[in-house]
Amino acid sequence: MNRNKTKVLLLGDEVRALYEQMDNGECKYKMIADDGSYYCRTVASREGAWQNSHLHLHVTEHYLVQVGWIAYASYEGQSILHLRIVTKDSTLLFNRGFITICTCLRAV
């Protein structure tokens, strides 16, 4: 997915802040450290935002749903499709190697 706007701010010798706005209207606010770790706040547009399927081989993603909901589809093994909706005040943990088929973020 393309990033329409990108801004970088240096916060110190080892940490920088990054703002990205995606084609789908989704905004990402990241704090990135030189060691490769980072925190990201993702904000969907009012209409919601779909993400394409993706895989993180070396990253574990932890989501805290603060507003609205997240729906996602994933495969278990090669044959079982799971569809899930996670609502406000819930958390999700996607371990390394987890394949997300599609994700919809929706603020309400």
What are the tens digits of pLDDT across the range 41-87?
888 877 777 777 777 777 777 788 888 888 888 777 777 888 888 88
The two structure tokens encoding residue 44: 């969907």
State the residue for tokens 């987890």: 98
* pTM above threshold 0.75: no
Torsion of CA 57, 9, 17, 41, to 10 degrees: -110
In angstroms, the Cα distances linking 83 to 7, 55, 66, 101, 102 are 34, 17, 20, 10, 10
